[in-house]
Amino acid sequence: MNTSCLLSLAFVALTAGGCRMSTPKAATPKAAVAESQTTAAPEAADTLSASGSAYLLCRRTDGGDEGQLLRRTAYVTAYDARRLTPMWVGWTLTAAHTDGPHERKGHKFYEDTDVPEPRALYSDIRESECGYQRGHMCPAADNKWSRQAQDESFLMTNICPQNGDLNGRDWKVLEDACRTWATRWGAVHIVCGPIYRRKRPRRVGPHRVAVPDAFFKVVLTGSGSDARCIGFVYDNVAGHKPMASYACSVDDVEERTGLDFFSALPDDVEAAIEARCDVDQWPV
């Protein structure tokens, strides 16, 4: 594994294995411990967000462009200037940040002037014109704890063209599950983003924003013997299937994306955790 992806967490390995169904452990996993972070918003004083931290950063293993790194109040992202979408978005969701007073209502999507032109605009992704919705990678519902975090979740560099049925159904189910896990275990560490299988993806809007073929999400939680991670891959199409049908190992997601996750862990720890896909350890 490439060890250039920097993390500040340390975990003890789980037993490696394939994707399987098993009886859930009786023990409740402990929340992973991260270094305290300084963030831009006053509400974020207790956050384990990616602002200023390195443990959510990813690196490419396929020789591709690393993108432009952007640090926000609640997440960090690498921007893909060729496709006008994020390559990946990483954030830590704590139990305290699964809810809050700053609702999605009233917030508007807006261009990110931190990236060069041409860049995606609100008008590039209109479902009535292109057939796709503006799909958040770091969800608005994960950012109700801070006005600034909520505003930044609507930056177009956190958005991909996403099938509306997927956005409102199966992908939303996974987002809801992440909030359930954060509430139950104290914190989950999440990286998600688009998958492009074709060299020439479909483009939409005047600025030709690339349409992903699929989306991935990897989730990490726990510490010591309870450390665990899991991956998910969703094709960018309509459908209604159980969440478990999208589950896979983090190793599988790495192979499909050319990205390296959690690789600052000792090699044996990383290998054991990332090879495992036990959906029963992720109850909802």
Q: Which residue in the list 97, 102, 136, 189 is annotated as catalytic?
A: 136
DSSP annotation of 21 reads -
Single-letter code of the amino acid located at 159: I
Question: In which element (H, E) is residue 68 found?
Answer: strand 68-71
Residue 61 carries which side chain, given as an amino acid letter?
T
Q: How many CB atoms lie within 10 A of CB 58?
A: 28
Query: Does 240 qualify as catalytic in the annotation?
Result: no
Measured between its terminal Cα atoms, the distance across the chain in Å is 31
E-state strands within 95-248: 133-136, 159-162, 187-195, 203-204, 209-210, 214-221, 228-235, 247-248
Radius of gyration of the chain measured on its C-alpha atoms:
18
CA 150 – CA 148 distance, rounded (Å): 5
| CA-CA-CA-CA dihedral for 145, 148, 151, 156, to nearest 10 | -120
Q: Are 195 and 231 in contact (CB under 8 A)?
A: no
The catalytic residues are 136
